[in-house]
Copies of this chain bind each other. A is one copy, B any other.
């Protein structure tokens, strides 16, 4: 089958790879309908994460079950499924606490390479959720978004305790940030302030439910948020970038006792504890337990309540994956869908 390999920073190729097979009786093999390029795929692409040998890429996926191992009971061949970017058993104590991304048997799907024609999914019962039926084609992008960016934005909004009566700030206008806006809206937030200086992303943020846009950054951005919140700061802030500036901005934009949900993957960022101490904010984040939210997210998409698939502003066939990476790296695209 064909699949994406990264050989070095900036060097992405679509190559012949071995067809995946059932290895464990808890595995399933799925034929992918679509995959995509993640913001986190840009870390090795840009050389921020080391690439020591050619590696398969991709961890976001939807598709049809082709084969299920002997112990798989909740999905069967022919079903359309959505999975999380962590494979998880969904039965261990961490999973039952809602932290499937910390499952004691977890496997990072990225190591298996979902930017491909087929994919082996370990712990299929715990990882995959079947849709009610084969989805109409126009729902596929949104279901794909649920696999990571929507689930991650959702976790950010939940970690920030977005909800009724609360003012929510979203730092970061990438696909995850935009999905956090959708999530905050669904969770009932009263006011949603998107921090963005890119006109097309501002438009999408408004479409997803943002009530205000702040274009300033850093301390100026914080001052704007304070202006908009009676001098106190937001109740909830979602940090969806992962830099020192964005973390600091998120903490400072939040009122004492407020909540910062951070889902940007931090690289080499250290947070001064004195700043956090005197801010009196709550901080929670990390790799999103997408699996926890999948049934609800599929439902919202199936009923056409939300349309997170709009974050895909570039669709390319799998063979043109290299251009998909380039477009995101150069910020010509928010997120690239690879149709298989």
By a beta-carbon cutoff of 8 Å, the part of chain A in contact with chain B is: 93-94, 97-99, 101-102, 104, 230-232, 242, 247, 255-257, 262, 265-274, 276-287
* CB–CB A271/B265 < 8 A: no
Residues of B within 8 A of A282 (CB): 282-284
Residue in B closest to A93 when the chains form the complex, CB atoms: B232
Known contacts: A269-B274, A270-B271. The answer to whether A280 contacts B101 by CB under 8 A is yes
What are 24 A-B residue pairs whose CB atoms fall within 8 Å in the complex? A93-B232, A97-B257, A98-B257, A99-B257, A102-B280, A104-B231, A247-B273, A256-B286, A262-B277, A266-B276, A267-B274, A269-B272, A269-B274, A271-B276, A276-B283, A276-B285, A277-B286, A277-B287, A278-B286, A278-B287, A280-B286, A281-B284, A282-B282, A283-B284
Task: Give A104 to B231 CA distance when docked, in angstroms.
Answer: 10
Which of B104, B265, B270 has a CB less than 8 Å from the CB of A272?
A: B270
Residue in B closest to A257 when the chains form the complex, CB atoms: B99
* Interchain nearest-CB distance for A283 vs B (Å): 4
Task: Give A230 to B104 CA distance when docked, in angstroms.
Answer: 11
Residues of B within 8 A of A255 (CB): 94, 97, 102
Task: Give A46 to B99 CA distance when docked, in angstroms.
Answer: 43
List 4 other contacts, CB 8 Å, given A97-B257, A266-B276.
Answer: A104-B232, A265-B277, A269-B273, A277-B286
Task: Give A98 to B256 CA distance when docked, in angstroms.
Answer: 9
Task: Give A94 to B257 CA distance when docked, in angstroms.
Answer: 8
Give the copy number. Answer: 2
* Interchain nearest-CB distance for A244 vs B (Å): 8
Residue in B closest to A280 when the chains form the complex, CB atoms: B286
Residues of B within 8 A of A269 (CB): 272-274
Residues of B within 8 A of A276 (CB): 266, 271, 283, 285-286
* Interchain nearest-CB distance for A260 vs B (Å): 9
* CB–CB A94/B256 < 8 A: yes
* Interchain nearest-CB distance for A151 vs B (Å): 14
Residues of B within 8 A of A272 (CB): 269-270
Residue in B closest to A265 when the chains form the complex, CB atoms: B277
Residue in B closest to A279 when the chains form the complex, CB atoms: B286
Residues of B within 8 A of A278 (CB): 286-287
Residue in B closest to A286 when the chains form the complex, CB atoms: B280
Which of B102, B247, B262, B271 has a CB less than 8 Å from the CB of A257?
A: B102
* CB–CB B256/A97 < 8 A: yes
* Interchain nearest-CB distance for A239 vs B (Å): 10
* CB–CB B93/A280 < 8 A: no
* CB–CB A273/B277 < 8 A: no
Task: Give A232 to B92 CA distance when docked, in angstroms.
Answer: 11
Task: Give A274 to B101 CA distance when docked, in angstroms.
Answer: 15
* Interchain nearest-CB distance for A269 vs B (Å): 4
* Interchain nearest-CB distance for A159 vs B (Å): 8
Task: Give A79 to B263 CA distance when docked, in angstroms.
Answer: 51
Which of B242, B273, B283, B284 has a CB less than 8 Å from the CB of A266?
A: B273
